[in-house]
Amino acid sequence: MNNYLEALKWKLTKPNYRKLRDIENPKVHEFIAKSSDLCQSKNVFICSDDPKDIAYIRQQAIISGEEKESLKIKGHTVHFDGINDQGRDRKATKYLVPRGISFSTALNQIDRQKGLSEVKGLLMDSMKDRTMIVRFISLGPPNSVFTIHGLQCTDSWYVAHAEDILYRPGYQVFCQAEPNTQFLRVLHSSGKLNKSMTSLEDDNKAIYIDYMDSTIYSVNTQYAGNSVGFKKLAFRLAIRKANYEGWLAEHMMIMGVHGPGGRKTYFSGAFPSACGKTSTAMLPGETILGDDIAYIRDVGSVARAVNVESGIFGIIKDVNPKDDVSIFNVLNNPGEIIFSNILVKNKKPYWLGMGTEIPENGTNFSGEWHKGKQDKDGKEIPPAHKNARYAVALEALDNCDPEIDNPMGVEVSGIMYGGRDAKAYVPVQQSFDWSHGIISYGASLETETTFATIGKEGVPEINIMSIQDFISIPLGENISNNIEFGKRLKKVPIVFGVNYFLKNKEGQYLNSRQDKHVWIKWMELRVHGEAGAIRSPTGFLPKYEDLRKLFDRVLHKEYTKEQYIKQFTIRVPENLAKIQRVQRFYQEKVSDTPSELFEVLDQQCKRLIKAKEKFGNYISPEKFEW
């Protein structure tokens, strides 16, 4: 018996001891023992992914009060985070960086020894009189070239339950693995809790990433983006691993798009939170393979991808029966779902933008709520939070792609990048080549901050490939890795830029929410060379006739030439200003920017200036056809 198992023995029941003993990796025993010793948990529960273990976790989430069975539909529960713990917290999320090493100034970081002292001080004794739950996770399909092992210790039954919905079981994967197998580690504690079972000291939360030890520390928070360690936290470590091994870990959805002749073409797409990623992945008539994180590898000189997860932790705001048919149906039928930070009234869930009238009172993340209720700063509390969520298994969706657990992944034929860009980029365009797309659409991705992140909303910012919040390597190094990855492939995916948020001068959106389905169908045709395109300074644009036919076939609505020209006019001043902002960002904040980035952006700038000299500041797409 090793010393770590011996140290844990008095905290484990005999069945739990046997479950842990069957995993032969001594580093697993060490992490669990040291975590329990630091947090002083009363006992330790080892989840083996047996149905009895899963049922026990769900039951304890309800008994503890972290979840409530206060909803009418069978299998539905609700969880509330604290009033100030409603999104990813950038200020509290820091990389632990060894002395003498510095990341880009765009990344939040702290001296490693100082950070370890801080976060371990907060975690010390945080689990007194509580059970520490141990979950084993398989990131990506098990027994695959994509598989990464994950282990989380937490004192939150809600977190443990959410992980069961969102991830593939990993206990047997750990049991079958070699004793020296590497794995990602997460240690989380909700900290002190109030009567509502929400973190009492969320103003003192810490989410620290120790990349030297492949470990995430999270304390004084319950919001799943901060506490479910294998969402965006361990993703940061996977990005680092991918960079050094020559593959890609990306903030991307994966979907199958149906085309002529019964074919299906797979696309991945990177969008910052609340910018249309999940709604794109769930388009009716297509299939969803993943909505958040993708691993992409070179397999036989072809880009193949898997969904790291097996469930969705989705933003519920604006999910309604018109725009989001698939998920709306799931949310209104029996099945295992955890709602978070919604409003509950008469055992029914309500959220913003659901398409029905919302009651003027009920229970929400602030406790008993009524219309006009204010927080301590005098700000009116909405009935449901804008970042309210649902957790559901992908297999609950009728359009879940059958290849979701294929250990070889699926071939990616197209990659799209999209953000909130009210002024510059057109709704959809195709890059001239891989490097142009990675740089002009990915590395130049500009968006506005949204409610998914704590802080001021609507602030324009560069969000490199929608991954900037999660990156754990120098930013320039990540861009170089992306560029080189595509150059090694014999079959290179086509890169597209999309923008669902373009506005006119009056501030009105030029797209409807349904229009994205047409852009996706056009991309599918372009991948197979079955639709024309117009060469513009920023990329290849769709032709009007192709879009008119697609609008009629896909959405059964008329698409006018006037709409087309408004949407696809190249706005030269706005595009030049965008390039200047991007260049300034890299010059000031990214010391290792590859020279190719500036070269590609300079070429785009010259094309725009040349077009301006010939056609003026605002150029109809029809001008480029001749």
Place of tokens 């991705």: 445
Q: What is the pLDDT of residue 460?
A: 73
112 contacts: CB under 8 Å, gap ≥ 6: 96, 97, 98, 99, 210, 212
Contact residues for 123 (Cβ-Cβ < 8 A; gap 6+): 38, 39, 187, 189, 217, 219
Beta carbons of 333 and 390 less than 8 angstroms apart: no
State both tokens at 210: 């120790």
Q: Which residue ranges in the chain fall short of pLDDT 70?
A: 1, 104, 106, 449-459, 626
Asked about 47 being catalytic, the answer comes back as no
At 338, which helix (H) or strand (E)? strand 337-340
CA gyration radius, the chain = 24
> What is the pLDDT at residue 454?
47
Length of the chain in residues, anyone?
A: 626
Long-range contacts of the stretch 453-460 (C-beta < 8 A, 24+): 453/87, 453/88, 453/89, 453/90, 453/273, 454/86, 454/87, 454/88, 454/89, 454/90, 454/91, 455/90, 455/91, 460/581
Annotated domain spans of the chain:
3-66+90-230, 248-308+404-625, 313-396
pLDDT of residue 63: 96
3-state secondary structure 170-198: CHHHHHHCCCCCCCEEEEEECCCECCCCC
Q: How far apart are CA 602 and CA 313, in angstroms?
A: 39
Amino acid in the structure at residue 395 = E
Of 210, 193, 226, nearest in space to 91 by CA: 226
Residue-wise pLDDT tens digits, 298-351: 999 999 999 999 999 989 999 999 888 889 999 999 999 999 999 999 999 999
Distance between CA atoms of residues 552 and 220, nearest Å? 52
HEC string for 110-129: EEHHHHHHHHHHHHCCCCCC
Residue ranges with strand state E in 181-309: 184-189, 206-210, 215-219, 248-250, 252-258, 264-270, 287-290, 294-299, 302-307
Angle of CA points 48, 12, 391, to nearest 5° = 40
Question: How far apart, in whole angstroms, are the C-alpha atoms of residue 309 and residue 27?
Answer: 24
Considering the candidates 47, 153, 275, 400, report the single residue annotated as catalytic: 275
Specify the 3-state DSSP secondary structure of 362: strand
Single pTM value for the model: 0.90
Please give the CATH architecture assigned to the domain spanning 3-66+90-230: 3-Layer(aba) Sandwich (3.40)
What ranges in 40-111 are assigned the alpha helix state H?
51-63
Query: Which CATH fold topology does 313-396 show?
Result: Phosphoenolpyruvate Carboxykinase; domain 2 (2.170.8)
How confident is the model at residue 456, as a pLDDT?
54
Please identify which residue in the block is written with the tokens 């739950």. Answer: 133
CATH topology for the 248-308+404-625 domain: Phosphoenolpyruvate Carboxykinase; domain 3 (3.90.228)
Rounded distance, CA 612 to CA 614, Å?
Answer: 5
Structure-token match 């799931």, residue found: 330
